[in-house]
């Protein structure tokens, strides 16, 4: 990954924090537009995203164009000093497309068509879809590329579709041919000698459709790789069109947080701005950590400031029970995003819909309108952001710790017929990040092939699949003085999901002082494994050490009594279970301490989060009770606009942004 | 809704309570028929329903007719004084129909065919099906219209099918064209501006088939409306045929209790007799209330006496665990139906099948035959019914309270992506009816557009969708002196499922003294919200009152501390949570008391139900222990045939029918 | 069932216990083959199964043949004294077959295709599949029939597929025509008078595809019979081919344990060797009983020694959480199989795969290789088996008790719309077998039409469907002096799933002293029914005795208070509930005692299993703590190679094989 060239988020922010959201004025009569602008200005909104789902409005019948309404809106925004992030409308084709071109509709693995009537009913592999999407993108870019309101391009929306149909099958074969060159190489990589799956002709190769029994896991893995790549092709095709018209303006597409379908490391390389949609559950006691994880991940993909493209001012509508945000939480979580590197704080959507599938998803202006609590809090937040913007935009965050994450490993590990269905990769990742977060250790994410030398400690919650290069990288990192803490089920498989001899990479075993991995002993839900000093969950292992470890913590009792649960050999740690939260936090705090990594601030109360961004110190109280924080020295709180000396009290959901 | 003209149930009962059930003699050799008649006579059976599933017997091959067996049965019944409700056999087409005419088979939303081999495998939209159904109905009516055994027509059986296939799609477009006139109007009603769903050609419009993500909710709502209407067309087409032959005989079709698929208010207008199938779970401690609810609903649809078309003498076969009826329960629940307005007490089915999919559904004559407990109790009940019939048939029930219910509101509210999946409309309706039932308040059901002026109190458990006319109606009702008690999630949407400004109709808010509805706070399963004096379940709300309410009961603690949970402004109450059962009962008893509504009898023990029908007082003990009831004055118990003064004792599941 | 003629397992064992497993060398480079042979020899492996999934290797393109690799392997095995069980590769057709012949792919009941990419994607009814399978079988048999390494044929693998497609429909009609002769007979058997299902033309008859509501149960039953028969035709077609080439060699196909899809009684008649795959859960506290049940069942089908075709040296990969075998458990359960009649102890698979869908299923040589615990234990077991083989092979097991089991009854009973979904036939069967196993009573299984006269006691856990002949057989058995203990839901239906008059066969009712079966009272999950001296689960019944029983145990309390829960009339017992485990064990121990049946050994501790095979006494400690067993007299322990007098101590998972 090379440093990014071309326009960046800074070209859109120009010293401000972008504040606003998706704006879908085609749902409203024009008189409401003017009311909207008034409310936006009062709330400090300086950016709206237009056009995300406007295809059928722009092209109501095939080949027609209706831009008048959009012309008026672009002008209106410009007149009011509100920048426009303009979206290509290709996430939701108009009904006429599926009707005239059934080949644009995806099929699921059971062969069922996904019809129009919702959204995202397009096949990434459909040549027709791609042609029509390019045409509307071209016209949009040609018309608005020079409009003074335009600040950024937004391509499509939350790419997330699969297709097992015939055109996708043809594209899958092309993709495989490009990857493997020959059928022999494919047969080798997929291990088709097992279960008589040897392919004798490319035409026989299919997406992993419904089967009688277990599917070929490498076929499934490659289909996930292929899907991510096909969607990326859709993205880059549209990006290249708009870039041709406006080489000076940044382009983005919005990720869903930690979503399984896209290799976001790879995608981020193709974006000028990395943006994400973030919806922690307001009722989740660890919602703030959930947010921090996604923010750290997005910042790491962006390698700098990033954009919070969507969040909710209140409840969403897609959970079983959709809870609103208690007073203050919207502000708290928005400022948390800024603390962790966001230079844009946006929402889906500006005005809550009265019709359609998302009318119970909250808006910055809710059904209760201007008087509603949601808008009142939005207005307050706008003022807060304006207050801190001059000091924060463009600011960087230094992290001494990196957590490794890789989609390919996730894709390979998250399949049927594995040792334990209880092992859920995102949950494992969350558990490790949570331990670091609760230890107040600022953390980046990194890809296992990235240069890790800048980090004092690297944490691998679980990388089931590690390429040879990634193993090289880890070994070099430790040789170079780095501290590596590694969780179970790591280094099991190679790039083709082929189990490495010994069940775990031999060089990794040597690194940790393991001679033989005899058996995995996965634990049932709720079951624990007693270890010296703590309890493990989810997993345990029957390991035979080779006698070279400097320190081992044994299992106690049961079949594994006396065998090592944790090994440390020099700066390399192996943790063969998932310690309970407090134990994992202690373990990582100790390893970090030995690696010379310090928490952001000493003596922080549990529920207070602290982040340093640039010259600022953010302090966020995630509790509902006031709390006092020791901050030695003299500071200025940019939000309260008052001096702080040595300590301050944060109220319920309170935030301070200190400049020293 | 105008008063019914034409024949009524009284034309079939002629002073008796119809007693009997579905009779499927084609399953049995003719010698059994004669045994059946003997047992029927001994049990006081005076009515059987023939032909419900006889199509393949009547028309074994396309166009053939075999009526001989039915001729003999009609004669046999007539000779034995047993009336015949003759059914059109169109609920289960013969195998040849699907085989020769695959267009008659329905498709589900995933495109899967529903094959023959069960029942109800017909598309309501199939022209072929309708043609063939009309033909067999015509021949049946022509042949038996003049038969002296014939007392009533029964069309089809439990209409309940959906179809997402191509012919249904064409009919759906016709239906939408009739509803909306123009595509513009449809686009407006469906809010297709959201997610780029604007239709440019009628041919693009489809039933809401499988989609990638959330479907358009108004499309889904209209599809439910369409389905109910298509089924109703099937019904009226057959009804019109038989009516042409026998204008003097009543026509019915049997509803399933509180079934989601039919707008039974609308259907009831097309029936001469309203009939229902009723199967409370014998193990449900609230089974009797479940029955009372359906009986009250059916009576309200019938606007007078109604027909219990199906119940079970013992267990059914479609629950997970199918419990038999303990001794006495069949009699108790049958007499409850009479108490609540039934002039016909019938069963599915007379003789329990030995083969087929329902052979473990009990019969009036079970597998154990004449000696079995089921038949013994059936015989006793026959005698009981004969004893009370002269005094009860045609009798009316006066109710001062009405519960509002509307299918369209249910259809709109019961969709994906709503605030809370825990809110289940039928459960909410049951909870409110239960409170009234346990308060011994006799209750009708009514449609929100009905004339409500005859009621002292109207209760709205939940009407998420209210048309403007319905809001007018409620306001006029309160203005006219009525007491209105209204539950949460009422008046949220208009007839197109468009959220009303403010999230709740403004006039209703004013009625209750609410200024702003800030947020809904749905509760998790099992979670409660503390209120002053009681606990709420399922839901709570962040309401800002406008200061005009006469009385408010606040939430206590949590985010809603001090905000109103219940508001009363004059005679209008708003209840923003679902109070626990005892609290809701007290609340409704108080509101009723203030509205001048009295319980049927004072001082009734909890488990005794009391209903006045005509000049009679029914007392039903739903407990297994004897209980003493105070009934001041002198009465005659028609069942025990003895005098009662001031008090009586009801044994386990005991019933008394008092005449004063 | 006549005595088996032709080759038997003894022709393959030749005095040894076959020891080895599935060997899939096509997954490995040839240098690994030589390493494999070395490890096999060290472990005492004397048999491998080749070719199970080799079709695409043997026939990489249609009509081609590649046998060179197999030639080399056959020779290699022979040179090293390892016998080969050669498999026809027909369980997993190569991709080219589905691609060129889509008619070979099965369709599920929803019409969805089962594509290649897994295994077993063949339609049993496809003429094309059968033709191509026969061709490859013919060539394989021709080439290796005379090879000296060849000891046995293994046809296909775990036959287990269904097909609802059009070619299967045509075959189903043929099968039905053969069964019923006329449509009238089919209509009568299926009870098509119910729900208008009368067939007027054979072409109308289909497999029981997706329906709107409940399917015809006899159609479903016949479809299961048909499926078992079609799969059997596939088996016998291949068997006949190999038998033509090698009439002296035995032929087998491997059953899955107690699998619903095959009538294994019928299949076993077509096999020279009965073999089974056995995978109890190592974490199941009753795993050993689960194993014993399958072993008893397989032995009874084999009527002598049988083959354990597959087991796992460690974890499998298809459970939710896949636990390894604790140290010693693999040996214990392997020796248990020998104790219960196995003369072959084999595994899936020799060397654990590194790729493919089963790479996390353990092997005799695991990923940890030679040093891994799995292989170390496999080597020890090889030595143990060699030590006892001369004394045990061919040995018979005498049982005085038979448990009746029938697939057709299971198929009829395991359908929708039954009295209780909680009644799970295999669980009921397991509960009764467990009671006998824990009472140390050696038990055979038998079909209800078998000659039972050799048994002192016959136990019927549940035979919902009993043919007239089976009823005759049971009555004759009791008349002949046998003791019959019969569980609930027995004798309910005849061969067509037609309920017998009275709900239970009249002659059985008379046998037990039952006049009337009024109602079944199924119990909810976790609910119990109090009886005199014990508690029942799952089921209870409202029975009216006829006064002829010698002894009754009543229900206590509730609706059934005082009615009989258990009746004994002479030597016939009826148990109308499922007694809790200890109570069922006591009841069966008492009945057995009265019938003159003795446990294998008196005073055995609970967790010790004892079996006599031939002249040997096997003692197996299923506990993790050492235990002392009294064995009066002088013996020699073949495993420990030491003398035992009067008592011995078995360590954790310890086994002794005593010769007196």
Q: In the 3-class helix/strand/coil scheme, how is B644-660 assigned residue by residue?
A: EEEEEEECCCCEEEEEC
The yes-or-no verdict on residue C233 having pLDDT over 90 is yes
Minimal CA separation from B193 to chain A, in Å: 5
How many of the other CB atoms lie within 10 Å of CB of B510? 15
> C502–B322: do the CB atoms touch at under 8 Å?
no
**Which chains are within 8 Å of C by 3+ CB pairs?**
A, B
State the span(s) of chain A assigned CATH 2.60.40.1180. 608-659
In the B/C pair of chains, how many CB contacts fall below 8 A?
Answer: 187
How many of the other CB atoms lie within 10 Å of CB of A608? 20
Chain B residue closest to C421 (CA)? B320
Length in residues, chain A: 660
Q: pLDDT value at position B3?
A: 59
Q: pLDDT value at position B79?
A: 98
Q: Which CATH architecture has domain A10-165+227-392?
A: Alpha-Beta Barrel (3.20)
Q: pLDDT value at position A1?
A: 44
| Mean pLDDT for all residues in chain C | 97
Note the pLDDT tens digit of each residue in A598-625: 999 999 999 999 999 999 999 999 999 9
Which candidate from C198, C215, C523 shows the least CB-CB separation from B357?
C215
Let me know if domain B401-594 sits in CATH 3.40.50.880.
yes
Q: pLDDT value at position A2?
A: 52
**Contact, C10 vs C393, CB < 8 A?**
yes
* B112 in C contact zone (CB under 8 Å): yes
Of residues B238, B271, B310, B541, which has the active-site annotation? B310
Pick the residue of A198, A206, A214 with the most C CBs within 10 A to test the interface with C by mutation: A198
* C259 in A contact zone (CB under 8 Å): no
Say whether the peptide bond before residue A349 is cis (omega within 30 degrees of 0). yes
The yes-or-no verdict on residue A319 having pLDDT over 50 is yes
**CA distance to C278, C289, C421, per residue, from C429 (Å):** 17, 12, 16
Contacts of A31 (CB under 8 A, 6+ apart): none
- Residue B305 is given by DSSP the state -
Contacts of C655 (CB under 8 A, 6+ apart): C331, C332, C335, C618, C619, C620, C621, C639
**Contact, C77 vs C83, CB < 8 A?**
yes
**Contact, B213 vs A317, CB < 8 A?**
no
Minimal CA separation from C192 to chain B, in Å: 7
**Contact, A308 vs A257, CB < 8 A?**
no
Beta strands per DSSP E along C327-424: 342-347, 401-404
Choose among A199, A200, A190, A239: nearest CA to A90: A239
Note the pLDDT tens digit of each residue in A149-171: 999 999 999 999 999 999 999 99
Which candidate from C200, C218, C502 shows the least CB-CB separation from B369?
C502
* C524 in B contact zone (CB under 8 Å): yes
- Residues of chain B contacting C500 with CB distance shorter than 8 Å: 354
Let me know if C250 is exposed, middle or buried by CB neighbors in 10 A (0-12, 13-18, 19+).
buried
* C624 in A contact zone (CB under 8 Å): no
> B353–C417: do the CB atoms touch at under 8 Å?
no
What span, in angstroms and rounded, lies between the C-alpha atoms of B461 and B433? 8
Helix (H, G, I), strand (E, B) or coil at C427: helix
Contacts of A5 (CB under 8 A, 6+ apart): none
* B208 in A contact zone (CB under 8 Å): yes
**Contact, C275 vs C235, CB < 8 A?**
no
Pick the residue of C25, C115, C121, C329 with the most A CBs within 10 A to test the interface with A by mutation: C115
Contacts of B100 (CB under 8 A, 6+ apart): B62
Minimal CA separation from B253 to chain C, in Å: 17
Choose among C424, C159, C445, C454: nearest CA to C292: C445
DSSP string, A4-59: P-S--THHHHTTSPEEEEE--GGGS-HHHHHHHHHHHHHHT--EEEE-TT-HHHH-
State the span(s) of chain B assigned CATH 3.40.50.880. 401-594
CA–chain centroid gap for B654, Å, is 26
Note the pLDDT tens digit of each residue in A10-62: 999 999 999 999 999 999 999 999 999 999 999 999 999 999 999 999 999 99
Annotate A296-350 with three-state secondary structure.
HHHHHHHCCCEEEEECCCCCCCCCCECCCCCCCHHHHHHHHHHHCCEEEEEECCC
C96 labelled binding-site residue: no
* B96 in C contact zone (CB under 8 Å): yes
The interface predicted TM-score of the complex, written ipTM, equals 0.97
Rg (CA), chain B: 26
Angle at C541 between CA C539 and CA C543, to 5 degrees: 165
What span, in angstroms and rounded, lies between the C-alpha atoms of A52 and A347? 13
Which candidate from C199, C203, C516 shows the least CB-CB separation from B371?
C516
Q: pLDDT value at position C5?
A: 80
Minimal CA separation from A203 to chain C, in Å: 8
Q: pLDDT value at position C1?
A: 44
Q: Which CATH architecture has domain C10-161+234-392?
A: Alpha-Beta Barrel (3.20)
What span, in angstroms and rounded, lies between the C-alpha atoms of B78 and B101? 38
Please list, residue by residue across C92-129, b when 16 or more beta carbons sit within 10 angstroms of its beta carbon and e when fewer do. bbbbbbbbbbebbbbbbbebbbbbbbbbbbbbbbbebb
Mark the binding-site residues of A for substrate, compressed into ranges.
Answer: 119, 157, 318
What span, in angstroms and rounded, lies between the C-alpha atoms of A156 and B660? 77
* A187 in C contact zone (CB under 8 Å): no
> C368–A197: do the CB atoms touch at under 8 Å?
no
Beta strands per DSSP E along B56-101: 83-87
Minimal CA separation from B188 to chain A, in Å: 9
How many of the other CB atoms lie within 10 Å of CB of A30? 11
Minimal CA separation from A538 to chain C, in Å: 10
Superfamily (CATH) of domain B608-659: Golgi alpha-mannosidase II (2.60.40.1180)
Lowest-pLDDT range, A317-331, B1-15, B566-580, C565-579?
A: B1-15
> How much is the average pLDDT of C499-526?
98
pLDDT means over runs of 10, chain B (660 residues): 78 97 96 98 98 97 97 98 98 98 98 98 98 98 98 98 98 98 98 97 98 98 98 98 98 97 97 98 98 98 98 98 98 98 98 98 98 98 98 97 98 96 98 98 98 98 98 98 98 98 98 98 98 98 98 97 98 98 98 97 95 98 98 97 97 97
For the entire predicted model, the pTM comes to 0.97
Chain C residue closest to B374 (CA)? C518
The yes-or-no verdict on residue C2 having pLDDT over 70 is no
Give the CB-side neighbour count of residue A335, counting CA atoms within 13 A: 35
What span, in angstroms and rounded, lies between the C-alpha atoms of A141 and A146? 9
What span, in angstroms and rounded, lies between the C-alpha atoms of B515 and B272? 47
* A142 in B contact zone (CB under 8 Å): no
Contacts of A131 (CB under 8 A, 6+ apart): none
How many of the other CB atoms lie within 10 Å of CB of C219? 25
Region for residue C653 given its phi and psi (left: phi exceeds 0; alpha: psi -120 to 50; beta: otherwise): left
* A111 in C contact zone (CB under 8 Å): yes
Let me know if C228 is exposed, middle or buried by CB neighbors in 10 A (0-12, 13-18, 19+).
buried
What span, in angstroms and rounded, lies between the C-alpha atoms of B578 and B596? 24
What span, in angstroms and rounded, lies between the C-alpha atoms of B454 and B440? 19
What span, in angstroms and rounded, lies between the C-alpha atoms of C660 and C645? 10
- Residues of chain B contacting C218 with CB distance shorter than 8 Å: 355
What percent of chain C stands above pLDDT 90?
Answer: 99
State the span(s) of chain C assigned CATH 3.20.20.80. 10-161+234-392
**CA distance to B501, C220, C225, C237, per residue, from C211 (Å):** 44, 12, 20, 34
- Residues of chain A contacting B110 with CB distance shorter than 8 Å: 112
> B503–A368: do the CB atoms touch at under 8 Å?
yes
**For chain A, how are helix, strand and coil distributed in percent, rounded to 5?**
35, 20, 45
Taking the C-alpha atoms of C130, C135, C137 and C140 in order, what is their torsion angle to the nearest 10 degrees?
Answer: -170
Pick the residue of C52, C111, C116, C624 with the most A CBs within 10 A to test the interface with A by mutation: C116
Q: pLDDT value at position A5?
A: 80
Chain B residue closest to C218 (CA)? B356
State the span(s) of chain A assigned CATH 3.20.20.80. 10-165+227-392
Q: Where are the alpha helices (DSSP H) in C314-364?
A: 329-339
Q: pLDDT value at position C365?
A: 98
- Residues of chain B contacting C520 with CB distance shorter than 8 Å: 315, 324
Which candidate from A195, A515, A518 shows the least CB-CB separation from C357?
A195
Minimal CA separation from C261 to chain B, in Å: 21
> C95–A523: do the CB atoms touch at under 8 Å?
no
Angle at B68 between CA B66 and CA B71, to 5 degrees: 125
| Mean pLDDT for all residues in chain A | 97
- Residues of chain C contacting A498 with CB distance shorter than 8 Å: 354-355
Choose among C188, C419, C496, C504: nearest CA to B27: C188
Q: Can you name the residues that pair with C445 across neighbouring β-strands?
A: C403
> A94–B522: do the CB atoms touch at under 8 Å?
no
- Residues of chain A contacting C27 with CB distance shorter than 8 Å: 191, 193-194
What span, in angstroms and rounded, lies between the C-alpha atoms of B523 and B520? 9
């Amino acid at each position: 990954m090379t440093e990014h060239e071309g326009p960046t988020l800074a070209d859109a922010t120009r010293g401000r924090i972008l504040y606003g959201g998706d704006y879908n004025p085609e749902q409203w009569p024009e008189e409401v537009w003017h009311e909207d602008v008034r409310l936006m200005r009062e709330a400090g909104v300086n950016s709206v995203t237009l056009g995300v789902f406007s295809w059928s409005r722009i092209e109501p019948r095939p080949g027609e164009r209706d831009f008048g309404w959009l012309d008026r809106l672009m002008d209106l925004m410009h007149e009011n000093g509100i920048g426009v992030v303009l979206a290509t409308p290709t996430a939701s084709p108009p009904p006429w497309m599926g009707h005239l071109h059934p080949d644009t509709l995806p099929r699921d693995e059971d062969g069922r068509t996904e019809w129009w009537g919702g959204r995202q009913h397009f096949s990434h592999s459909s040549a027709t879809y791609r042609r029509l999407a390019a045409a509307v993108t071209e016209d949009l870019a040609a018309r608005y590329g020079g409009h003074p309101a335009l600040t950024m391009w937004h391509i499509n929306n939350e790419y997330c579709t699969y297709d097992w149909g015939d055109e996708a099958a043809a594209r899958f074969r092309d993709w495989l041919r490009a990857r493997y060159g020959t059928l022999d190489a494919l047969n080798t990589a997929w291990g088709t000698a097992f279960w008589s799956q040897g392919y004798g002709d490319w035409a026989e190769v299919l997406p992993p459709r419904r089967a009688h029994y277990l599917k070929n896991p490498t076929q499934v893995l490659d289909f996930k790789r292929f899907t991510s790549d096909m969607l990326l092709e859709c993205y880059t095709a549209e990006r290249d069109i708009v870039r041709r018209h406006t080489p000076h303006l940044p382009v983005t597409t919005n990720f869903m947080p930690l979503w399984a379908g896209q290799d976001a490391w790879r995608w981020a390389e193709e974006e000028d701005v990395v943006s994400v949609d973030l919806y922690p559950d307001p009722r989740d006691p660890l919602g703030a950590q959930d947010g921090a994880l996604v923010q750290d991940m997005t910042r790491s993909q962006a390698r700098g400031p990033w954009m919070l493209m969507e969040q909710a001012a209140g409840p969403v509508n897609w959970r079983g029970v959709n809870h609103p945000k208690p007073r203050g939480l919207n502000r708290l979580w928005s400022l948390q995003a800024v603390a962790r590197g966001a230079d844009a704080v946006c929402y889906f959507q500006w005005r809550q819909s009265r019709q359609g599938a998302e009318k119970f998803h909250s808006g910055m202006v809710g059904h209760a309108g201007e008087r509603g609590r949601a808008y009142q809090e939005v207005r307050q937040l706008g003022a807060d952001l304006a207050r801190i913007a001059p000091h924060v935009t463009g600011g960087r965050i230094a992290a001494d710790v990196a957590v490794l994450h890789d989609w390919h490993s996730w894709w390979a590990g998250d399949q049927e017929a594995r040792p334990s269905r209880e092992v859920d990769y995102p949950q494992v990742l969350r558990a490790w990040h949570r331990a670091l977060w609760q230890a107040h250790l600022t953390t980046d994410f990194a890809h296992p092939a990235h240069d890790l030398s800048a980090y004092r400690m690297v944490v691998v919650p679980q990388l089931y699949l590690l390429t040879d290069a990634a193993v090289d990288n880890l070994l070099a990192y430790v040789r170079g003085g780095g501290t590596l803490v590694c969780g179970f089920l790591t280094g099991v498989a190679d790039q083709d999901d082929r189990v490495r001899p010994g069940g775990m990479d031999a060089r990794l075993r040597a690194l940790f002082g393991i001679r033989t991995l005899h058996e995995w002993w996965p634990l049932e839900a709720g079951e624990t494994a007693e270890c010296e000093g703590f309890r493990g969950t989810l997993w345990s292992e029957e390991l035979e050490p080779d006698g070279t470890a400097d320190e081992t913590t044994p299992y106690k009792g049961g079949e594994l009594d006396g065998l090592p649960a944790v090994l440390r050999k020099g700066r390399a740690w192996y943790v063969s279970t998932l310690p309970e939260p407090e134990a994992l936090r202690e373990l990582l705090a100790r390893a970090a301490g030995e690696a010379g990594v310090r928490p952001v601030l000493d003596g922080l109360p549990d529920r207070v989060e602290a982040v340093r961004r640039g010259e600022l110190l953010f302090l966020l109280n995630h509790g509902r009770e006031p709390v006092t924080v020791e901050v030695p020295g003299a500071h200025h709180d940019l939000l309260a606009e008052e001096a702080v000396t040595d300590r301050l009290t944060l109220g319920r959901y309170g935030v301070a942004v200190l400049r020293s």
